[in-house]
Amino acid sequence: MDKPTSRAEKRAATAQRILEAARAEFGELGLEATTIRRIAQRANVDPSLVMQHYGSKAALFAVAIAMAESTPDEVESHLHDVLDVRLGTLPPETRALVRSMLTAPEAGAAMTAFLDERVANLSRAMGGEDAELRAALTVSSILGLTIARHFLKLDALTTASDADITRVARPWITTGLDPARPPTGSDDSTS
């Protein structure tokens, strides 16, 4: 990679180094335990530069956990991809957000906004009756799997291989995609 030469390029490179350091710190320690001083030390900059670039720890946290929006062409394939990502090692921004979402109001608000956006995108792609509710249940299920495997480390999810979890979870995570298809095991004859 070429070294930045202009003042603007140097500033952008410093901001990126700070952001990467922040993601790592938030991922390891969560929002509350992370300090501007530790982020600056990790980025090899003066703490005042962190504040100059991002304004506050809360503002830096919001930027650090932001994830690029993606609109799937094919919903089932997209959900399978999301499942595969959530089974692997979580990126620092995801670890930071999940670790802090129940203890820090900023993290909770950021997680709510992020999940609401995912629900809206998925429900538009799914369409049909109760699309928003079906999307919310799907997104919540993936969040639950992420927490159970990576943070709570449930035995069944940590001892199973990625391939086994994927084999079982793929059909389960996509059952709500088609509103006309009744869930497996449902019996409509009793209604």
| pLDDT single digits (tens) 90-137 | 777 778 888 888 888 888 888 898 888 888 888 888 878 898 999 999
pLDDT band at 44; cut points 50, 70, 90? very high
d(CA 48, CA 37): 9
Give the angle subtended at the CA of 118 by the CAs of 112 and 123, to the nearest 5°: 125
Are 157 and 149 in contact, with CB atoms under 8 Å apart?
Answer: yes
Specify the higher pLDDT residue, 175 or 43.
Answer: 43
Asked whether residue 65 carries a pLDDT value surpassing 90, the answer given is no
Specify the higher pLDDT residue, 88 or 188.
Answer: 88
Are 58 and 108 in contact, with CB atoms under 8 Å apart?
Answer: no
In percent, the amount of the chain with pLDDT more than 90 equals: 23
The answer to whether the pTM exceeds 0.75 is: no
Tell me how crowded residue 2 is: count the other CB atoms within 10 A of its CB: 5
pLDDT the model gives residue 1: 54
What fold, for 7-65? Arc Repressor Mutant, subunit A (1.10.10)
Alpha helices in the chain (DSSP H): 7-33, 36-43, 47-54, 57-65, 75-87, 92-100, 105-126, 131-150, 155-159, 162-173
Domain ranges of the chain: 7-65, 75-179
